[in-house]
Structure 1
Amino acid sequence: MDEEKANLIAYVKSGKNRLKVLEIIKKHKKLVFASDIADEVGIRVNHMGTLLRELAEKGLLNNPNPSNKRQKLYQISEKGKEILNYFKE
């Protein structure tokens, strides 16, 4: 296992909702709004926005409409799927 992957696993594991968010987005198999994810996780949308932005910056999520500041859509990236699979083993 390389250092980047180990660091991402530690990052996901150290956050209360990070793994749950990745699982929810993967389950949807389509683009998802932050508000939809926040409803499923049970946290406020402003907190979810911060969490999603961090996950995207780490390369675990894709944001195909970054210019839309109000209604961002997210999907899990290949790197995110790889990290999520680590927790399923």
Structure 2
Amino acid sequence: ENQIRCYNYRGVGHYARNCFVRPRRRDVAYLQIQLLIAQKEEAGIQLQAEEYDLMAAAANLDEIEEVNANCILMANLQQASTAMFQAMF
């Protein structure tokens, strides 16, 4: 089944732009989805309608850049904490 799915709360039957529920909290999963979509767009890969909706929900390109920066920061922090933990033991 190929059903329309809302990225705001993963409901079925409408797109995020037509959603009546508040958008999802901007947690790690949300940021990862945003990053993947932004990378896909930069690579010139055709986005699906739902992905365009999610990009529109991000409001503007500045937020996408902030998402990228946050994901890079999270990865760097994770690597640093792993290295620090390994050095301790």
Q: TM-score range by the shorter chain?
A: 0.3 to 0.5
Kindly indicate whether structure 1 or structure 2 has the higher relative contact order, using CA contacts under 8 Å at least 6 residues apart: 1
The structure number with the bigger radius of gyration is: 2
